[in-house]
Amino acid sequence: MVRDTAVLLDEKRVFEPKNEILERAHVKNWEEEIEKGKNLEKYWSEKAEQFEWFQKWDKVLDDDNKPFYKWFTGGKINLAYNAVDRWIETEKRNQVAILYINERGEEKKITYYELYIQVNKLANALKNLGVRKGDTVSTYMPMCPELLIALLACTKIGAIHSVVYSGLSVGAFVDRINDAKAKVLFTADGTYRRGKIIDLKAIADEAILQCPTIETIVVVNHTGIPIQISELSGREIFYERLVDGEPAYCEPEWMDAEDPLFILYTSGSTGKPKGVLHTTAGYMVGVATTLRNIFDIHDNDLWWCTGDIGWITGHSYVIYGPLLLGTTTVVYEGAPDYPDPGVWWKIVEKYGVTKFYTAPTAIRHLMRFGTRYTDLYNLESLRILGTVGEPINPEAWMWYYQNVGKEKCPIMDTWWQTETGMHLISPLPVTPLKPGSATLPFPGIDADVVDEEGNPVPMGKGGYLVIKKPWPAMFRTLYKDEDRFLDVYWKEYSGCIYKAGDMVRKDEDGYFWIQGRSDDVLKIAGHRIGSAEVESAFVGHPAVAEAAVIGKSDPIKGEVIKAFIILREGYELKTQLIEDLKNHVRYELGPVAVLGEIVQVDKLPKTRSGKIMRRILRAQEMGEDLGDTSTLEE
């Protein structure tokens, strides 16, 4: 959903950093830091020095074979070792690493030492299951400590993890697991969602029938609901049984800097999800540096990122970033408004959260309750706030700033993607802020706005967002699909520049105002989902002959799906069928696919070669000019 530029152009407010923020900040002068970032290799090698390397790198950036950039080549390192083991010999040994809280108000605290032991045990158990360096392990888990432990255990032994978001359903699950050829699957008996327990195991059981590569299913007893486990099949085992009796030490695998770390599937313009591949050292350096400098992480911070580990936000900023910095990371399982819309603020007060990072959709949702809940709790502990996932409208920004941050916490509006691995455009705490703008590229990041031909556009005019120089946490390819990697991201413009897929405008101060996707990717409540995936779910229903979907603007979720469908003969779009279709799409894709409206049509706008022109439907929907219709079939 592209934002209305006219409204944004009117946004002139600027918020300068407060003194307390300036005094504490790791980076006190953002202009100077941006200057430093211009020397890419020096800048990033200094950041990399802070980690423990088994063997130091020979070269910071190898750009011999663009866009297959390599970082820290020759270096040997283990990310789990740096995120966990490294702290055991320090005063952080008994500090809480993971603070798990759920919607029932239950909590679990796991110290760095305890985490170390648990990761080691599971790492050894995985080895016993035959998992080796380079093998793939998938998870379909709630936000719970075992998920973090599982991912860290993979990382420790060099297995590649591939997380499937627990809000995705059977169809999406099967595609992802089979593409990654996962050997082991971690799942759980269930997850808490608004007072109910969703039986994840049942969904996994059904999906797994279509996943031939899975040799072992590890089941975490998380909610305690009775479940079917068929140990007799030899394929299923309870997590506790698996780790029981394993040795408490596991030698970390010496990984090459460029060894794969994880695959994370995300939606593109076609129906097939993209397996975004990240590698070890560059990712590590990128996420730790951005988190440290953007959220100004210090030793006594309590960090809470509400993003789910099923998305990149959770990978980079619930697990890896915070643990690499030795901070305490809150892992919350639940919704923002259950049991009531004060639940998050209650947690902030109870534990003294200092840095809080969430999505604009959640803010817009909570904003409806005015100050009733934000006033009920003491939010004084908060120092820096953040947002991610979609553009934040100035109104929501102001509500967040005034009522959550009490006008003393700067808001870090961080623009980035699954592909970028780390924040690329974001303020630092000392950057003057403008509500609704992600402000400026992070030091070392060369972002720009170009037109269709790749020429820079004049100030104030909208265009396509591109990144012109490599960055350490960049994805290295699409898993088993190098051609698509090159086609989608690198071929549009000459000179090997990265095409992000977003529309953006730069103002007179060089500030970036992200306007939304330029492709057929939807952002529903911050969750990325492809139009084509939804359409293919629709046509999987016996009543539907053809379908086209677009994003329809929604005051809370940012956008929801509007579907145009052609029914097969003998079907009528009555209430019952609408319900059936909604359930069907939900079954295929999960609750992320929020359907706003389904309308029946006789015809869909198509090109002469038969491609659906969603652009025409969008223009029609907005009452706009249809634009170039020369390729439209009769």
Taking the complex as a whole, the smallest distance from the CB of residue 360 to ligand 6R9 amounts, in Å, to 8
Tokens of 414: 């961080």
Q: Is the peptide bond before 67 cis (omega within 30 degrees of 0)?
A: yes
Q: Does 417 bind ligand 6R9 (CB under 6 A)?
A: yes
Q: Does 593 bind ligand 6R9 (CB under 6 A)?
A: no
The residue at minimum Cβ distance from ligand 6R9 is 418
Question: Of the two residues 119 and 497, which places its CB atom closer to ligand 6R9 in the complex?
Answer: 497
Q: Does 441 bind ligand 6R9 (CB under 6 A)?
A: no
Q: Does 504 bind ligand 6R9 (CB under 6 A)?
A: no
User: Per-residue contact track with ligand 6R9, 447 to 486, x per CB under 6 A?
Assistant: ----------------------------------------
Q: Does 415 bind ligand 6R9 (CB under 6 A)?
A: yes
- The span from the CA of 94 to the CA of 251, in Å, is 21
The torsion angles phi and psi of 235, rounded to 5 degrees, stand at -105, -25
Which residues does residue 447 pair with via DSSP β-bridges, in sequence order?
467
Identify the DSSP state of 185: E
Taking the complex as a whole, the smallest distance from the CB of residue 526 to ligand 6R9 amounts, in Å, to 6
Q: Is the peptide bond before 339 cis (omega within 30 degrees of 0)?
A: yes
Only one of the segments 52-60, 235-243, 408-416, 469-477 lies at the binding site for ligand 6R9 (rule: CB under 6 A); that segment is 408-416
**123, 514, 524, 589: which one binds ligand 6R9 (CB under 6 A):** 514
Q: Does 523 bind ligand 6R9 (CB under 6 A)?
A: yes
Tokens of 509: 């101060």
Tokens of 595: 């359907």
- The span from the CA of 381 to the CA of 452, in Å, is 46
* DSSP helix/strand/coil, 178: helix
Taking the complex as a whole, the smallest distance from the CB of residue 58 to ligand 6R9 amounts, in Å, to 32
Taking the complex as a whole, the smallest distance from the CB of residue 234 to ligand 6R9 amounts, in Å, to 37
Only one of the segments 119-127, 161-169, 415-423, 543-551 lies at the binding site for ligand 6R9 (rule: CB under 6 A); that segment is 415-423
Q: Does 76 bind ligand 6R9 (CB under 6 A)?
A: no
Taking the complex as a whole, the smallest distance from the CB of residue 511 to ligand 6R9 amounts, in Å, to 12
How would DSSP label each residue in 193-256?
A: ETTEEE-HHHHHHHHHTT-TT--EEEEE--S-------GGGTSEEEHHHHHTT--S--PPP-EE
**341, 405, 501, 530: which one binds ligand 6R9 (CB under 6 A):** 501
Question: Of the two residues 264 and 302, which places its CB atom closer to ligand 6R9 in the complex?
Answer: 264
Q: Does 311 bind ligand 6R9 (CB under 6 A)?
A: yes
Give the β-pairing of 216-220 and 184-188.
parallel
Taking the complex as a whole, the smallest distance from the CB of residue 426 to ligand 6R9 amounts, in Å, to 8
Only one of the segments 85-93, 146-154, 410-418, 475-483 lies at the binding site for ligand 6R9 (rule: CB under 6 A); that segment is 410-418
- The span from the CA of 342 to the CA of 360, in Å, is 17
Per-residue three-class SS string for 131-176: CCCCCEEEEECCCCHHHHHHHHHHHHHCCEEEECCCCCCHHHHHHH
Q: Does 413 bind ligand 6R9 (CB under 6 A)?
A: yes
Burial class (CB in 10 A: 0-12, 13-18, 19+), 599: exposed
Q: Does 308 bind ligand 6R9 (CB under 6 A)?
A: no
Taking the complex as a whole, the smallest distance from the CB of residue 589 to ligand 6R9 amounts, in Å, to 15
Only one of the segments 35-43, 237-245, 248-256, 411-419 lies at the binding site for ligand 6R9 (rule: CB under 6 A); that segment is 411-419
Q: Does 390 bind ligand 6R9 (CB under 6 A)?
A: yes
Question: Of the two residues 266 and 328, which places its CB atom closer to ligand 6R9 in the complex?
Answer: 266
Site for ligand 6R9 in 256-285 (CB under 6 A): 266
Q: Does 438 bind ligand 6R9 (CB under 6 A)?
A: yes
Question: Of the two residues 57 and 493, which places its CB atom closer to ligand 6R9 in the complex?
Answer: 493
Q: Evaluate whether 109 touches 96 at the Cβ level (below 8 Å).
A: yes
Burial class (CB in 10 A: 0-12, 13-18, 19+), 494: exposed
Question: Of the two residues 116 and 513, which places its CB atom closer to ligand 6R9 in the complex?
Answer: 513
Question: Of the two residues 159 and 362, which places its CB atom closer to ligand 6R9 in the complex?
Answer: 362
Cα separations in angstroms, 403 against 335, 363, 375, 389, 428: 20, 11, 8, 21, 21
- The span from the CA of 298 to the CA of 325, in Å, is 9
What is the strand order of the sheet 498-506 is part of? 447-450, 462-467, 498-506, 512-517
Which residues does residue 284 pair with via DSSP β-bridges, in sequence order?
none
Residue that is written with structure tokens 């975490």 in the block: 220
Q: Evaluate whether 220 touches 239 at the Cβ level (below 8 Å).
A: yes
Q: Evaluate whether 430 touches 21 at the Cβ level (below 8 Å).
A: yes
Burial class (CB in 10 A: 0-12, 13-18, 19+), 530: buried
Question: Of the two residues 145 and 394, which places its CB atom closer to ligand 6R9 in the complex?
Answer: 394
**312, 412, 613, 616: which one binds ligand 6R9 (CB under 6 A):** 312
Q: Evaluate whether 40 touches 444 at the Cβ level (below 8 Å).
A: yes
Q: Does 361 bind ligand 6R9 (CB under 6 A)?
A: no
Q: Does 506 bind ligand 6R9 (CB under 6 A)?
A: no
CA nearest 276: which of 419, 424, 67, 472? 419
Taking the complex as a whole, the smallest distance from the CB of residue 502 to ligand 6R9 amounts, in Å, to 5
Q: Does 550 bind ligand 6R9 (CB under 6 A)?
A: no
In the complex, the residues that contact ligand 6R9 under the rule CB under 6 A are 266, 311-313, 388-391, 413-418, 438, 500-502, 514, 517, 523, 528
